[in-house]
Structure 1
Amino acid sequence: MWPNAKIAVMGGAQAAGVLSEVANKGKRWNEKEIKEFEEGIINRIDKESSPYYSTARLWDDGIIDPKDTRKILGLSIAAALNREIDNTNFGIFRM
């Protein structure tokens, strides 16, 4: 993962908008309450979508310097080619 990567499915503002609509359903929040609710979500998403946040929790294989990308890809492909591919009985896993 590069240092400028993001791991979130959507940005903080988009997530805050969706979540505030869901949380506000059937209620009547004023503008101040909506803004406070959305600011908290935006701050949290922005913090938790950082590559440093995910790497610190071992959710990925670490952060690489972009100038080392070619070397890392070469090592990864070489490591993958050192074993024969087994026959499988399952389909494709989607993530």
Structure 2
Amino acid sequence: MSAPEDDAFFYYLGSYSTADGRWKGQMLNQEHTPAKGENPVFGGYEVGIGFSGTCTDDSGELEGIALAGKRSLRLAASLKLMRRA
């Protein structure tokens, strides 16, 4: 999605479903703090993202498409659970 230093300006809301080691969902990327002097990947705009991939109890792989204005951006991410609540 964005470079790690840019992620500090955003939060993500969404939902997903899982079955048989696969997951799919959607999320909304929103800016909580203006990224002054930075060049965030989505330009500070609210962006919808659809994704799908594989998952286990403590990790996930996903590929998705972010719709940013008239552009669509492809993304991939590897997620790992750091600590259970």
TM-score range (shorter-chain normalised) is under 0.3
Structure ranking higher on relative contact order (CA contacts 8 Å, 6+ apart): 1
Normalized per residue, which structure has more strand?
A: 2
Normalized per residue, which structure has more helix?
A: 1
Please report the TM-score for the alignment, with normalisation by the length of structure 2.
0.21
